[in-house]
Chains A and B, each alone.
Chain A
Amino acid sequence: MSRIAACFAALQGKKALIPFITAGDPHPSRTVELMHGLVDGGADIIELGVPFSDPMADGPVIQRASERALVHKVGLRDVLAMVAEFRKTNTTTPVVLMGYLNPVFVMGYAAFAAAAREAGVDGVLTVDCPPEEAADLSAALIAADLDPVFLIAPTTPEARVREIARHARGYVYYVSLKGVTGAGNLDIDDVARKIAALRAHIQVPIGVGFGIRDAATAKAISVTADAVVVGSRLVQEIEAATEQTAKERLTGLVAELKAAIL
């Protein structure tokens, strides 16, 4: 069983909390300790952002995180090294890389998949690679026992949901709103209706993210979702903290979110 599947199985119906941080933010030397800090707070799965120069789907908070990481020239290989370092002391918490296709494309799908597997990565979500263009990447990931994670959006028609369901492994990531990460127009009732409709087609767990900014919203989302993804809010916490206090503040916030969700 993959680490992601094992994680959801072990939760026995409790909901997963999936915090997101950007690798290399605020400094590459801090990422591994921040990942441990997320686990200390109760993270079930970690989404680790791979910095990219042109993060088209991200709002200003995660754009800035990418820019801070890129000041230190953090590349995909550096991110894999961070995961390998994390795995030295944590062999159970799944790590999903989230980012844009180009760094992966440039490294080469097979080389990336093998290196990611070796480093201890469990899943890969490339935001700008829909199933239509993902055949080669997905094949390489699956050959390396990695889960390709796909997005489903409020605009995704039913026929596409069925298509995505055929390709999705690990979990699917339902984008809770029309907008970029960290946007402020989340409609909880609408999300609940969409999740219920998705259940007809989606066999893997359904995570929900984009725009979940506090414990109350996380709790409300967890009523229908299998997992709650929180990104921009955590990145804001890193932004507001010093390098020394970032870990403690992240752990505290993650614990608060974890306590709130079902």
Chain B
Amino acid sequence: MERYDLPDAKGHFGPYGGVYVAETLMAALDELKNEYERVKADPTFWEEFRQELKHYVGRPSPIYHAKRWSEQLGGAQIFFKREDLNHTGAHKISNAIGQALLARRMGKKRVIAETGAGQHGVATATVAARYGMECFVYMGSEDIKRQSPNVFRMKLLGATVVPVESGSKTLKDALNEAMRDWVTNVDSTFYILGTAAGPHPYPMMVRDFLSVIGEESKEQMPELTGRQPDVVVACVGGGSNAIGMFYPYINVDGVRMVGVEAGGHGIDSGMHAAPLSGGAGVGVLHGAKSYLMQDANGQVVETHSVSAGLDYPGVGPEHSYLKDIGRAEYVAIDDKEALAAFHDCCHLEGIIPALESSHALAWAAKVAPTMGKDKVILVNLSGRGDKDINTVAGLAGITL
């Protein structure tokens, strides 16, 4: 394909993206865009970023050959990009560090974040502690219930967790509330957005900070297998870990890219969180135009997924574009399939994966048997599942 060079100067990925926010935030987003453009060209910023990733996060994260599981499935070889081994247990920390370093350069002493599963909240609370910033994390009260270990971790790290009671009390409402905080405290506050969505420049910035996932993979896979993978797979809620894996591979011919959305109780049930693969139309939410789960009146509908981190009605605009141009495919895995993969990964590989990442694992496990043994699937194992043990126990009728 032609050289891929998006977004354009106004933050558009084809018809998607853009800056759909209230006027009060426009100047702040302009300032952020200009500051990011400056640091993008500043090698000292990236050197500092790399040092932090190496010594604080523990990057590069390894790639691991899931031999037993691959053998049992009897088809393609499955490899894991071990983002679960990063400090704080998920890919989110790399983005949080990038944005916090930017906040520091801009002289902002207060950071805010939204969180669903709590991984981005923990990552933000962590970097706020590391850099001496005041931190407020907005989290839906439903998510607070199902992710209580992460809530306590954030508090241990010194952050204030603000429960959000409006709407569906999940990630989308946490994002609304974070935006309301930002509009009120725009002079003092940096909003560390946790996914590759939101108004420009966030989708681009989050992608750039997380591209380290795909960049490392591109170096590691030839060392391990002598070549690039046939397929790269990642779960997609807002789509941050997926775009981090996909972006460096966009111009690599022959690498199929698959984003796995949350099928919830099944696409036909309507109780899912799969705007790209579930037949949703296009809409405008949280500052960008993208595929969006909504009703005929343009009201955003409630979503369902066993994993809080995927329970989001929208998706990052770059994924909408990659879907339309056919460069990436998007599929859905339902709650049951994800849970089965969660348990298989525990038993066969000795790795407890996040329920979010389990969706990507489930797709790989489903498709591997249909592929030859010489084929290679690289799954982005975006986070570890310690935070999910209450949920999984609860589904099995066990109270911890």
Contact = CB atoms under 8 A, between A and B. Distances in A.
A11 interface: no
Interface string A175-205: 1001110010000000000000000000000
A77 B298 CA distance: 11
B21 A128 contact: yes
Contact of A54 (B25, B26, B167): B167
Contacts of B23: 130, 150-153, 155-156, 164, 175
Interface in B270-297: 281, 283-287, 289, 292, 294, 296-297
Contact of A154 (B24, B185, B292, B294): B24
Contacts of B183: 57, 178-180
A219 B283 CA distance: 40
A4 B390 CA distance: 58
A131 to B, nearest CB: 9
| Range of interface residues on A (Cβ < 8 Å) | 35 or more
A129 B300 CA distance: 17
A102 B176 contact: no
Contacts of A10: none
Interface string A118-154: 0000000001111011000000000000000011111
Nearest to B180: A180
Contacts of B20: 101, 128-130, 133
Given A153-B23, A153-B24, A179 B184 contact: yes
A203 B335 CA distance: 57
Contacts of A179: 24, 180, 183-184
Contacts of A106: 281, 283, 294, 296-298
A76 B298 contact: yes
Contacts of B299: 51-53, 70, 75, 102-103
B176 A160 contact: no
Contact of A56 (B187, B286, B289): B286
Interface in B165-189: 166-167, 172-173, 176, 179-180, 183-187
Given A53-B300, A107-B298, A133 B18 contact: yes
Contact of B285 (A51, A54, A59, A70): A54
B27 A102 contact: no
B32 interface: no
Q: Is the interface of B mostly helix, strand, loop or mixed?
A: mixed
A76 B286 contact: no
B34 to A, nearest CB: 12
Interface residues of B, number: 39
Interface in A42-61: 51-57, 59-60
A227 B23 CA distance: 19
A56 B19 contact: no
B28 interface: yes
Nearest to A63: B166
B41 interface: no
B300 A103 contact: no
A130 B21 contact: yes
A104 interface: yes
Contacts of A155: 23-28, 186
Contacts of B172: 54
Interface-centre pick from A55, A152, A164, A178 (highest chain B CB count, 10 A): A178
Given A73-B297, A102-B285, A178 B186 contact: yes
A116 to B, nearest CB: 15
Interface string B61-97: 0000000000000000000000000000000000000
Contacts of B296: 75, 106
Contacts of B187: 178
Nearest to B186: A178
B22 interface: yes
A13 interface: no
Interface string B174-213: 0010011001111100000000000000000000000000
B10 interface: yes
A160 B287 CA distance: 19
A191 to B, nearest CB: 14
Contacts of A107: 298
A1 to B, nearest CB: 27
Contacts of B285: 54, 102
Contacts of A180: 180, 183-184
Interface-centre pick from B19, B20, B28 (highest chain A CB count, 10 A): B20
Interface string B1-41: 00000000010000000111111111110000000000000
Contacts of A70: 299
Contacts of A73: 297
Contact of A132 (B19, B22, B24): B19
B28 A102 contact: no
Nearest to B185: A178
A217 B228 CA distance: 66
Contacts of B21: 56, 128, 130
Given A103-B298, A105-B298, A153 B184 contact: no
Among all A-B residue pairs, the 9 with the closest Cβ atoms: A75-B297, A106-B298, A103-B298, A153-B24, A151-B23, A179-B184, A53-B299, A153-B23, A155-B27
6 contacts: A53-B300, A56-B179, A75-B299, A129-B284, A130-B23, A133-B19
Interface of A: 51-57, 59-60, 63, 67, 70, 73, 75-77, 100-107, 127-130, 132-133, 150-157, 160, 164, 175, 178-180, 183
Interface of B: 10, 18-28, 166-167, 172-173, 176, 179-180, 183-187, 281, 283-287, 289, 292, 294, 296-301
